[in-house]
Amino acid sequence: MNFKVTLLPGDGIGPEVVNAAVSVMKVAAEKFNVAFKFNEQLVGGCSYDKHGVPLTDEVLSSCYDSDAVLLGAVGGYKWETLPQNLKPEAALLKLRKALGLYANIRPAKVYSALLSASTLKPEVLNGTDIIILRELTGDVYFGEPRGFDENHGWNTMVYTREEVERIAEYGFELARKRGKKITSVDKANVLDCSQFWRKIVHEVHKDFPDVELKDMYVDNAAMQIVRDPKQFDVILTQNLFGDILSDIAAMITGSLGMLPSASLGKNYALYEPVHGSAPDIAGQGKANPLATISSVAMMFNLSFQMSKAAELIEAAIEKTLTMGYRTADIYSPDTILVSTTQMTEAVIENFNHIYDEQALGVFTL
Ligand code: IPM
Ligand code: MG
């Protein structure tokens, strides 16, 4: 099998973490007999510096022509004062809309080796395994009219029936394969758009009677995630609420730098770490590559149907953490401080090791 992958390393630590993930992809490709054709392109601030826009049509064409896109991170202080449509972040929004990436999957899973890194008590956290399913192409992010003048600023929160139906269907399907529980998060006590969201989600639910549906207001959800995260399985929510809740969920795992994400549409898929471009540590070999490596595991699973390879990559990450390797962001005094490259090499070594053991029948996942 041959797969075409567009690489969009972006800004800050993006290039370092994408490099790391690509080296893991190459090793996995060899073991699992697939070939990757990589096409590396500029996105975000670096694209603005070279072309005057954060995303060019050429880059978009490359994405359309790919089986998957791997993105590092975009943004940095340097571009913060640019107008909204030229900011590095605008590239992300354009990619999401143009590729139709309506379903954003953000798992918040606790790595047991990192339990003590959370600000929550281990007994509250232990066993947490949430998926935030965030609608990604609607809501105030894209609603018109929008703008501001001397005396007003305005945005439009809007969803169509079709937009809510397709994300709800995706959510129920997803929950069906996991804990069979969905919490739909909205602000239906105040917002008409949310009232509409809730109504459609309940209509779709009629086709999924085996999945339990609960509604929750977003302010309560923010509190509940911190109070008792284990109560959640799949959290289905609007674009804006998902943006906020996914940061909360990521933080309680104690490993913001560890979490992967997938943004999926009917025809395209983009994978990226949840963390940002961290310009303050860029180019110093300090970045944690595990979120991007884990995003590649999601890519193998969801875009290439290579679930075995995905499992091995995840197992290799776990083992590397259990052995005590830590980049600076997750370091504690009783662990081993390593660079981006050392961490990546350790993951690759463990990947090969687990693969070989399994090939010999010693280890079964
Ligand atoms: C995210 C980010 C983006 C968003 C920004 C960078 C546009 O915060 O992916 O969560 O708001 O969606
Ligand atoms: Mg965000």
Assess whether pLDDT exceeds 60 at residue 161.
Answer: yes
Mutate to test the pocket of ligand 1, among 82, 141, 243 (most ligand atoms within 8 A of CB): 243
Q: Ligand 2: distance of its center to the CA of 137 in Å?
A: 14
Known catalytic residue at 219: yes
Instruction: Ligand 1, residue 104: give the atom nearest the CA.
Output: 9
Find the mean pLDDT for residues 188-217: 98
- Residue 101's nearest CA partner among 237, 269, 261 is 269
Out of 83-97, 245-259, 298-312, least confident range: 245-259
Residue 111: how many CB atoms within 10 A of its CB? 20
- Residue 134's nearest CA partner among 168, 88, 89, 93 is 168
Q: Please tell me the residue having the least CA distance from ligand 1 atom 1.
A: 243
Find the mean pLDDT for residues 146-151: 95
Known catalytic residue at 247: yes
Query: In the prediction, which pLDDT does 360 show?
Result: 64
Assess whether pLDDT exceeds 80 at residue 231.
Answer: yes
Give the whole-angstrom CA distance, residue 230 versus residue 211: 17
DSSP bridge partners of 103: 135, 264
Query: In the prediction, which pLDDT does 215 show?
Result: 98
Tell me what percent of the residues of the chain surpass a pLDDT of 90: 88
Q: Please tell me the residue having the least CA distance from ligand 1 atom 2.
A: 243
Assess whether pLDDT exceeds 80 at residue 232.
Answer: yes
Known catalytic residue at 141: yes
Assess whether pLDDT exceeds 60 at residue 86.
Answer: yes
- Residue 327's nearest CA partner among 257, 253, 252 is 257
Length of the chain: 365
Q: Is the dihedral of CA 187, 190, 192, 198 positive or negative?
A: positive
The mean pLDDT value of the chain amounts to 95
Query: In the prediction, which pLDDT does 362 show?
Result: 55
In the 3-class helix/strand/coil scheme, how is the chain assigned residue by residue? CEEEEEEEEECCCHHHHHHHHHHHHHHHHHHCCCEEEEEECCCCHHHHHHHCCCCCHHHHHHHHCCCEEEEEECCCHHHCCCCHHHCHHHHHHHHHHHCCCCEEEEEEECCHHHHHHCCCCHHHHCCCEEEEEEECCCHHHCCCCCEECCCCEECCCCCCHHHHHHHHHHHHHHHHCCCCEEEEEECCCCCHHHHHHHHHHHHHHCCCCCCEEEEEEHHHHHHHHHHCHHHCCEEEECHHHHHHHHHHHHHHCCCHHHCEEEEECCCCEEEEECCCCCHHHCCCCCCCCHHHHHHHHHHHHHCCCCHHHHHHHHHHHHHHHHCCEECHHHCCCCCEECCHHHHHHHHHHHHHHHHHHHHCCCCCC
Find the mean pLDDT for residues 211-231: 97
Q: Ligand 2: distance of its center to the CA of 349 in Å?
A: 33
Find the mean pLDDT for residues 170-183: 97
Instruction: Ligand 1, residue 246: give the atom nearest the CA.
Output: 10
Out of 36-45, 50-59, 120-129, 151-160, least confident range: 120-129
Q: Ligand 2: distance of its center to the CA of 243 in Å?
A: 4
Token digits of residue 161: 């029936």
Token digits of residue 176: 């069906």
Give the whole-angstrom CA distance, residue 300 versus residue 177: 18
Query: In the prediction, which pLDDT does 365 show?
Result: 45
pLDDT bracket for residue 119 (50, 70, 90):
confident
Assess whether pLDDT exceeds 80 at residue 261.
Answer: yes
pLDDT bracket for residue 111 (50, 70, 90):
confident
Domains, in order of start, for the chain: 1-102+258-365 (3.40.718.10), 119-253 (3.40.718.10)
Residue 119: how many CB atoms within 10 A of its CB? 9
Q: Ligand 2: distance of its center to the CA of 192 in Å?
A: 24
- Residue 219's nearest CA partner among 201, 241, 239 is 241
- Residue 19's nearest CA partner among 9, 32, 28, 10 is 9
Query: In the prediction, which pLDDT does 46 show?
Result: 98
Known catalytic residue at 192: no
Assess whether pLDDT exceeds 70 at residue 277.
Answer: yes
Q: Which residue in the list 159, 170, 187, 355 is annotated as catalytic?
A: 187
Find the mean pLDDT for residues 34-56: 98
Find the mean pLDDT for residues 17-26: 98
